Amino acid sequence: GGRPPPPPPFLLFFVRATVLLLCCSMRSRPASVSMSSVPSLLVVLCLLASPRGLGALVAPPRAASFVRAPPPFSRSTMLFKKKKASGGGGGGFGSKAAAPPKAAAKPKPKPKPKIKENGLAEMMRAAKMSTFRYTGGIRPGKQSPTREVPETVQEGALAGKAIAFPTYAADGKPKNPPAALPWVIEVKTPEEIVLMRAAGRAARQVLDAAGRCVQVGVTTDEIDAVAHREALVRGCYPSPLNYHGFPKSCCTSVNEIICHGIPDDRPLQDGDIVNVDITVYLDGYHGDCSEMFVVGETLDPVHRRLIQATYDCWVESLNFVRPGRAYKDIGGVIEDRVVRDGFTSVKNFCGHGIGSVFHTSPNILHFKNNEPNGVMAPGHTFTIEPMICERGARSVTWPDAWTAATVDGGRTAQFEHTLLVTEDGVVPLTGKIPGESPVQFWEEESDVHQGLWLGTGAQAPWSS
């Protein structure tokens, strides 16, 4: 899934300059400083000290912490981070005598995902859901209990293989390193690329399996069950599960839902369009992809054009990727095509870097922008995932704090690949598998690229 873009870097300079001027004024002329300036100063200082930094001031309303990244530069994380106490050491003033060595502790089993529930909070959320003014025809259904992940693969050819758990599996909190500047992007080593390819292929296979379940009368919870099982038999942890508390193993966004739809017991209906978003964590690395699916045989001509336009603008942006080009220019490629076709691009969510960390730099905005998000180079891995709307692109978040819907109830479409920049172009690590993955009408009728899109570089998607 995409994430909200971070605040522009220049705002950090502006706020800090304001704090400096206020402090100097209060020190040099204390008698002339009005008490009315004190609350403003306190607010600014609290913003700088908060974990979200400037995000608390300028970021859009909290749509989903599932995809929210920390600000690219935060005083709280880079200047005031506490140092861990060192173990042992020589005697000094106030030092304690060294404790006798302890017996070796027994290895702890890997944590199992467990989402904590607060009874009162759940009751309040249910009340809000019942009175919320929904913008389209989709309503939240009943969710099944959260599915568990065993420590090892339980069936299939990989039975007995240990499943790697991400850092947030137990408590929902990712333990990522401090965020770097937005233009500082990790270059994957050849060994990491091999692991990324494996994760990408597994994600594609899980998405294909989930897509085959999309039929009239099937619930999105049943799709989630298939995605969960298919991830486990491949030795993968389903990345969305318990990421900042997300309760399911994939996202299913139907009709006017832009992204982060939570699977439930609502049966799919003839004429629905649904995006299934799959991410898996395999041997320490994530693979992330999504695709549209049409339910039944009836499809409104406008919605058919919407899906086709979304696919075509997405492929044009994929073809744009190559070393030396600016990440910010991807958005212009997408928006130019979308506007020409009469649709709009969502600005609240964006693509992202990916690897051992679910969401990291660079941020990929799907509209024209001048953000300093870096330059493409071989070894970069990231996603492009435009969310395109048939009418307006403004969004509203449901009381479940995850589901993002269009304000006007218009339908949306989205596609996503995990990409690897190569020496001469780009390849999709989550690309479709010839002879296995289905070919959809938008691939057959595209005026950008007909058939499966497998990249622009000389490397095949699954070569090592």
CA-CA-CA-CA torsion sign (179, 183, 189, 191): positive
> By C-alpha distance, which of 3, 230, 249 is closest to 113?
249
User: Average of pLDDT values for 180-188?
Assistant: 94
Decide if pLDDT at 121 tops 80: no
> By C-alpha distance, which of 389, 251, 382, 259 is closest to 313?
389
pLDDT at site 354: 98
Percent of the chain whose predicted confidence (pLDDT) is above 70: 73
Non-local (6+) Cβ contacts of 343 within 8 A are: 306, 309, 310, 388, 389, 390
Decide if pLDDT at 362 tops 80: yes
User: Average of pLDDT values for 232-256?
Assistant: 98
User: Average of pLDDT values for 125-152?
Assistant: 91
Instruction: Give this prediction's pTM.
Output: 0.77
Non-local (6+) Cβ contacts of 46 within 8 A are: none
Selection from 2-6, 11-15, 32-36, 233-237 with the highest mean pLDDT: 233-237
Are 138 and 254 within 8 A, CB to CB? yes
User: Average of pLDDT values for 325-353?
Assistant: 97
What tokens were used for 277? 């978003």
What tokens were used for 242? 């318990």
pLDDT, averaged across the chain: 82
pLDDT at site 93: 32
Decide if pLDDT at 399 tops 50: yes
CA distance 224 to 251: 8
CA distance 93 to 73: 37
At which residue do the structure tokens 């006007």 appear? 408
- Looking at per-residue pLDDT, the higher value among 139 and 178 belongs to 139
Q: Out of 71-80, 231-240, 281-290, 350-359, pick the least confident.
A: 71-80
Residue type, 208: D
Non-local (6+) Cβ contacts of 4 within 8 A are: 59, 60, 63, 67, 68, 348, 349, 350
pLDDT confidence band for 350 (50 / 70 / 90): very high
> By C-alpha distance, which of 404, 68, 421 is closest to 257?
404
Q: How far is CA 78 from the centre of its chain?
A: 24
pLDDT confidence band for 341 (50 / 70 / 90): very high
User: Average of pLDDT values for 247-258?
Assistant: 98
Are 152 and 161 within 8 A, CB to CB? yes
pLDDT confidence band for 177 (50 / 70 / 90): confident
- Cross-strand pairs, 122: none
Decide if pLDDT at 326 tops 90: yes
What is the number of H-type helices and E-type strands within the chain? Answer: 10, 15
Query: Residues 128, 132, 137, 138: what is their CA dihedral angle, to the nearest 10 degrees?
Result: -30
In this structure, how many other beta carbons lie within 10 angstroms of the beta carbon of residue 135? 18
pLDDT at site 126: 73
What tokens were used for 457? 């570089």
> By C-alpha distance, which of 420, 393, 28 is closest to 193?
420
pLDDT at site 324: 98
- Looking at per-residue pLDDT, the higher value among 14 and 329 belongs to 329
Non-local (6+) Cβ contacts of 247 within 8 A are: 115, 143, 146, 241, 262
What are the φ and ψ backbone dihedral angles of 27, each rounded to 5 degrees?
-80, -40
CA distance 210 to 201: 14
Decide if pLDDT at 148 tops 90: yes
What are the φ and ψ backbone dihedral angles of 80, each rounded to 5 degrees?
-110, 20
User: Average of pLDDT values for 275-296?
Assistant: 98
Decide if pLDDT at 162 tops 60: yes
User: Average of pLDDT values for 338-367?
Assistant: 97
Q: How far is CA 348 from the centre of its chain?
A: 12
